[in-house]
Each structure stands twice: as C-alpha cells, then as structure tokens.
Amino acid sequence: MSKIIVHIDLNYFFVRCEEIKDPTLQGQPVAVGHQGRAGIVSTCSYKAREYGVKSGMPMFQAIEKCPNLIIKPVDFDFYGVLSREFILYVLSFTKKVEVASVDECYADFSDVLKNEKDPIGFLKKFQKGLFDKTKLYCSIGVSTNKFLAKMGSDYKKPNGITILRQKDFKKIIYPIQIANMYGIGKKTAPRLQSYGIKTIGDLADKINSDDNDIKNLLGKFYFTVKDWVNGKGDDEIKYDSDESVKSIGTSTTLPNDSNDYEEFRNVLKMLSFDVSRRAKKENKLGKTITLTLKDTNFISQTKALTIKNPTNNGNDIFNYALDILEKCYDGRLMRLLGVTLSNLIDIKDIAIQMTFFDYKDAEEDSKTKLLINDLNRRLSKPMLIRASQINKKGE
C-alpha cells in the first residue's frame, strides 16, 4: 500500500508576511530583499510579477521593470514566527512532518486521508484552517512520494491543490518544461535541451531507453531521476530525525570591491565572531574552517583548513581564517568574503582527539583520564573517545 505524501508550500511567503504586518500592501507590487549594492529580490508579490519582477533578480533591475515597486527589507525574525505557526498547524494533523525550508514542508497524510471520501474538500478546509490561524496561503501537492508531491504543489499557485495519482501523473508531469523540474537547475537544463529534451516526458523517454549520454550527464543522480519520472521515489518523511546542521557559515559582499588587507581583517573578524556565536548557540564545535573569496569577475574560490581540536571560539576561527587568507591572497580586488565552520561535532558528545602522550585537554575527572589512558594503551594509537561513552562505562 503506497503512502499519501503531501508537500505544502507557502505562497509568496516573505511578501505575504509583510502584508500581514501591513495589510495596505495587499494588491501592490511588493518585493522583499536587500537594497544595497548587491541587492536582489528574495520574493515578490503577484502584482510585481505582472511587471516581470522575479525572485533572484537584481533589485535595480526589478525597479527598472516596475518603477513603483515597494521594497521591504528582510525580517527573518517575523518570518520565523509565522513559519513556526505554519509547522505547528500541520503538526496538528500528523506528527509525520518534515520541514524542508522556512516556507515548505512534507507530511505523511496516509492516516489523515485514507478514509477521506473527498480529499480535495478536506484539503480546502485545511487551507482555510491555515488561513484562519495564520493568514497565510498555501499550495498543496498530493502524491505517493516527495518528488511528485513537490511538483504537485508547484503546479497550481496560489492556493492550488494538485493530486497526482499513479494512473495519471504523467498527464500532468510529462508536459512540464525540463527547466521547471525539481533538481534540474540552470546548468543541467541547457545540457539536456542540447540532446533534444524539452520536457520531463522527453527526459523519461530518453532515460527509459537507457541513453548513455544522459546517464553520464547526470551521474549518480540519474538513478534518482529515473525513479522520479516513472512515478517512484523517496516517500520517507524524516519527522524525528536526529540529523543536525552540518556547516555554519556567513559571507558578505563588501561595500566596494577592495584589495585592502586591513579591511579584509576587519571583515573576517566580524564574520568569524558571527560564525562563533551561531556555533555556540547550536552547541557545535567545528574542525574545518573554510575561507571563501569571490573576485570582481564572480569567480569563487574556497580554501579550507582542518585542525586537530575542534573549536567554536571566535578568535580561533578568525586567526585560522586569517592564516588561510595570508597563504592564498594574491592582491586581486575582491567582492565577497566568507567564513564557514564545518566538520561539526556536538558539544554533548564532544570527541577528544588524543594520543597516548597528549591528553591535556581531557576532562579533569581522574577516572575518565585513567580510562582513556588505559584504552589508548591497549589500542596503542591515537583514537577518538567520546566523553558520553566514557561516562557510561565509567559508572
């Protein structure tokens, strides 16, 4: 028995949040986004879209297209509040909810919909319930796996409900332009088009005839896509996943292109302390520090350094980032700097990298020390010892 998976997508979420704050914005051309030298449109209202404004578009271009565009700065704190209300609402139907981003989630509605004679009617009430609680609009895709549910929620906006059944999903999915397929971006779409693939249906034909060019082009992703275009795919909703964040990074476009080393120092310091603050908030330490540089030609470069003892200390991160910069900077004008901490370890089961002779950083507890010493002697090589394991065994 296949599952019933839904994908729920909040329509023009950031702008909708601004409308909730200030209802006079409704029906106006509104864009949310930064308005600095590197500003782009994050989200825009449907009215703005009529003028050709799109998300991702440079703000100055959006203004060219729509001179009376109302621009609102991003207010993540407020959006976060509404986002949580949205998830809580979905959770009131089932606990099997997977948050995909601030404005979308997947949910396993098998139990919710299995005895429902009128699923469309039910989902309309669901939408109305969400609106009554939060004033948010959503589109819903319903199918047997996450991919089709996602494509479904994208099919009709705003307030759409699209059900993709095994017997008829092809009718809806196959005519869709290949560039609008989830997972196919602006690099792969033209490559596929160069093989005559215009739609998802074309891609399905090629894949089901075992086309080697497409196989090579997509790599491992080929097998996922093969499932997708044939109506199969991942239907696991990760609702109590213990997965946590894998990297914490921040970057900034400089006020002006610069080769001023002192300015770089100051910016890196600020970025490093921001990363440190967030790592501490997440109770994470990291072993890899990555410096990102983007030059005036938009060429990005990353240089990474992995250290022995994980850290989330601002000065540590700053100094490592500076080390990397010193090693690789060649005096070019730069546009953007970034610092990322990865290889993260949770503080509560912090791994203490130790050798037989080096356990200065060990917990002060003497029992732990003895135990670690003993383990290392028996293994006679460096090893990872988790404090949580030690505590268990030490009892």
Partner DNA sequence: TCTGGGGTCCTAGGACCC
Pick the piece of the chain touching DNA (CB under 7 A) from 108-116, 179-187, 234-242, 314-322: 179-187
User: Cα separation of 14 and 209, whole Å?
Assistant: 43
Tokens representing residue 237 in the block: 């909703």
Residue 300 β-bridge partners: 294
φ, ψ of residue 305 to 5 degrees: the values are -140, 125
- Regarding 197 and contact with DNA (CB under 7 A), the answer is no
Pick the piece of the chain touching DNA (CB under 7 A) from 140-148, 186-194, 196-204, 365-373: 186-194
User: Cα separation of 309 and 360, whole Å?
Assistant: 12
User: Cα separation of 324 and 149, whole Å?
Assistant: 44
Taking residues 264 to 303 in sequence order and writing x for each that binds DNA by CB under 7 A, - otherwise, the string is --------------x--------xx--------xx-xxxx
In the complex with DNA, which residue's Cβ is closer, 42 or 272? 42
Give the residue, chosen from 160, 286, 314, 338, that forms a contact with DNA under the rule CB under 7 A: 338
Pick the piece of the chain touching DNA (CB under 7 A) from 23-31, 95-103, 112-120, 314-322: 95-103
- Regarding 158 and contact with DNA (CB under 7 A), the answer is no
Taking residues 2 to 21 in sequence order and writing x for each that binds DNA by CB under 7 A, - otherwise, the string is --------------------
- Regarding 217 and contact with DNA (CB under 7 A), the answer is no
Residues belonging to the chain = 395
**Shortest distance in whole angstroms from residue 174 CB to DNA:** 17
Cβ atoms of 307 and 320 within 8 Å: the answer is: yes
Q: Residues 98, 104, 263, 364: which is the catalytic one?
A: 104
Q: Pick from 223, 344, 341: which is nearest to 289 by CA?
A: 341
Give the residue, chosen from 2, 22, 27, 60, that forms a contact with DNA under the rule CB under 7 A: 60
Give the residue, chosen from 98, 104, 108, 235, that forms a contact with DNA under the rule CB under 7 A: 104
User: Cα separation of 105 and 95, whole Å?
Assistant: 12
Give the residue, chosen from 20, 304, 322, 383, that forms a contact with DNA under the rule CB under 7 A: 304
Helical (H) or strand (E) element with 89: helix 76-91
Cβ atoms of 314 and 276 within 8 Å: the answer is: yes
Place of tokens 């997977």: 98
Catalytic residue flag (residue 19): no
Give the residue, chosen from 67, 196, 219, 331, that forms a contact with DNA under the rule CB under 7 A: 219
- Regarding 322 and contact with DNA (CB under 7 A), the answer is no
- Regarding 248 and contact with DNA (CB under 7 A), the answer is yes
In the chain, DSSP assigns E strands to: 5-10, 30-33, 41-44, 70-72, 97-101, 104-108, 138-143, 161-163, 247-258, 284-295, 300-311, 334-346, 351-354, 383-386
- Regarding 98 and contact with DNA (CB under 7 A), the answer is no
Q: Which residues are catalytic?
A: 104
Binding site for DNA (CB under 7 A): 34-40, 42, 55-56, 58-60, 63, 100-104, 150, 181-189, 219-221, 245-253, 278, 287-288, 297-298, 300-306, 336, 338, 340, 342-343, 381
